[in-house]
Amino acid sequence: MRERKLSAVELVEATLRRIDETEPVVHAYVHVAAQQALAAAQRADAEVPRGPLHGIPIGIKDVLATRDARTEAGSRLLAGFTTSHDATVVRRLREAGAVIIGKQVTHEFACGQDVPPTRNPWNLRHYPGGSSAGGGVSVALGSSLGALGTDAGGSVRKPAAVTATVGLKPTHGRVSGWGTIRAASAPSLDHVGTFTRSVEDAALLLQAVAGYDPADRRTIDEPVPDYLADLDRGVAGLRLGLAPGYFAGPELHPEVEALVEGAFKELERLGATLVPVELPAFRFTLPAGFVILMAEVAQPHRRWLVERPKDYVPGTRRLLELGSLVPAAHLQAAHRARMVMRAEVQAAFRQARLDAMVTPTLPITSMALDEMVDLPRLIPFTLPWNLTGLPALSVPCGFTPAGLPAGLQVVGRPLDEATILRIGHAYEQATPWHRQRPALAGAGAR
């Protein structure tokens, strides 16, 4: 595109054709902004390029406000809802020259308690990950070149792991969440994150959306570094922590464990040193995380739960009703457990002189859709990093004999996204997994 061998209009037209090919099967989008995207591409072709995202089609999770498309958060309660503004991250993408290609499927209010219409392109009978279901699927298939999602317990990294894409959850406060539908957010846990096909693309997207936002008091007023500067430095000499006391055991499926162990060995071969650490307080992850998540998400729903209960999906309504009944003492205990977890992982980084930690992204592969009642099985390895606010990156690390993807998770120090991107990029360049694409014809399409 820089050399004018490909125009933004041609790229957007090709992406729209890919959407037409795949949407009848996978349903990653709730709204395709074809006319607006083509108009934005025409403007991009008429301008001097603003940077590496100029003219690139990006999908947006349907909980992030867009001034030119409805934002319904996957719920009948917000049917037809529009805003006059963009979420900060959407505005920053437009300012970088990106083209918004459409709004993408989310679980109702990002709660993960309903079966989304979206299907996993690696096996259409399996869960596509959630709650940012459409983002991972669209990037895996090329019906977007990147996507924005939100992640309060793993909702970017889960879809990334089960679709063999790259999912990045930055440090809490590194990226503005202003413009996220409040009824679909747990503010102290929520992060806006990215889906891409490569770690380099994740760095490019983060570069565009990161930074202080006076409209969001959660954001951190610190300079944004050049995330590409050290991307090719490799992992030689880095110390990477393992915590097998938590990120292993009976919850970890043997096929996933074998793939992740292979990834650990590859990092060692590339020159990293693996250092075992203990994180006993992480046993509080699920009880503390669910209490905080349920209470924070439920708060803005109190009136709707009384006045419009039948407009919710039943599973979502039950979760929100439970969240509205969480006793204050339980919430206080959950926050105390969270503080202990934060202190413990900070001490582990300091005492073991860690540059990052590496874990499985998920303990299992994508579950069959008829097994979705057991969603807590998916989040014990992602939720700790929402509670602690640390940056976490999921990269593909192989496929099971059944052809289902698994993910390697790289976790860094606060605001040190550059290091986890560097580690993920080094692993990615040494392995073939990120280059593999799903073949829908072989996945039971009908």
User: Which candidate, 94, 117, 116, places its Cα nearest to that of 179?
Assistant: 94
Q: Give the list of residues 6+ apart from residue 40 with CB closer than 8 angstroms, or none.
A: 8, 12, 94, 99, 100
pLDDT band at 60 (very low <50, low <70, confident <90, very high): very high
Q: Is residue 113 part of a domain?
A: yes
pLDDT single digits (tens) 166-176: 999 999 999 99
* Residues 206 and 195 sit within 8 Å (Cβ to Cβ): no
pLDDT band at 444 (very low <50, low <70, confident <90, very high): very low
* Residues 391 and 174 sit within 8 Å (Cβ to Cβ): yes
Average the pLDDT over 383-405 and give the result.
98
Find the length of the chain.
446
pLDDT single digits (tens) 10-58: 999 999 999 999 999 999 999 999 999 999 999 999 999 999 999 999 9
In the chain, the amino acid numbered 433 is W
- Edge to edge, the sheet with strand 29-32 lists 29-32, 99-104, 57-61, 146-151, 191-196, 166-169, 392-399, 405-411, 356-360, 239-242, 273-276
pLDDT at 442 exceeding the cut of 50: no
Q: Is residue 226 part of a domain?
A: yes
Q: Please identify which residue in the block is written with the tokens 């041609």.
A: 10
Active site residues: 61, 131, 155
Q: Is residue 87 part of a domain?
A: yes
- For residue 132, what is the domain's CATH number? 3.90.1300.10
Q: Is residue 110 part of a domain?
A: yes
pLDDT band at 441 (very low <50, low <70, confident <90, very high): very low
Average the pLDDT over 293-321 and give the result.
96
Nearest-angstrom CA–CA distance, 241 and 35: 48
Q: Is residue 69 part of a domain?
A: yes
Q: Is residue 75 part of a domain?
A: yes
Provide the residue range defining the domain that includes 169.
8-235+357-435
Report the domain count for the chain: 1
Question: What is the predicted pLDDT for the residue at 89?
Answer: 98
Q: What are phi and psi of 398, to 5 degrees?
A: 130, 180
Q: Is residue 35 part of a domain?
A: yes
Q: Is residue 118 part of a domain?
A: yes
User: Which candidate, 179, 174, 191, 137, places its Cα nearest to that of 159?
Assistant: 137
Question: What is the predicted pLDDT for the residue at 446?
Answer: 29
Average the pLDDT over 50-67 and give the result.
97
Average the pLDDT over 402-421 and give the result.
98
Burial class (CB in 10 A: 0-12, 13-18, 19+), 337: buried
Average the pLDDT over 227-231 and give the result.
98
The pair of structure tokens assigned to 376 is 């807590």
376 or 171: which leads in pLDDT: 171
pLDDT single digits (tens) 327-363: 999 999 999 999 999 999 999 999 999 999 999 999 9
As a whole number, the mean pLDDT across the chain is 96
Question: What is the predicted pLDDT for the residue at 30?
Answer: 98
442 or 126: which leads in pLDDT: 126
Question: What is the predicted pLDDT for the residue at 121?
Answer: 97
Question: What is the predicted pLDDT for the residue at 373?
Answer: 63
Min mean pLDDT across 70-74, 157-161, 435-439 is at 435-439
* Residues 51 and 1 sit within 8 Å (Cβ to Cβ): no
Q: Are strands 29-32 and 99-104 parallel, antiparallel or unpaired?
A: antiparallel
Nearest 5°: CA angle at 31, between 29 and 34?
110
pLDDT single digits (tens) 105-150: 999 999 988 889 999 999 999 999 999 999 999 999 999 999 999 9
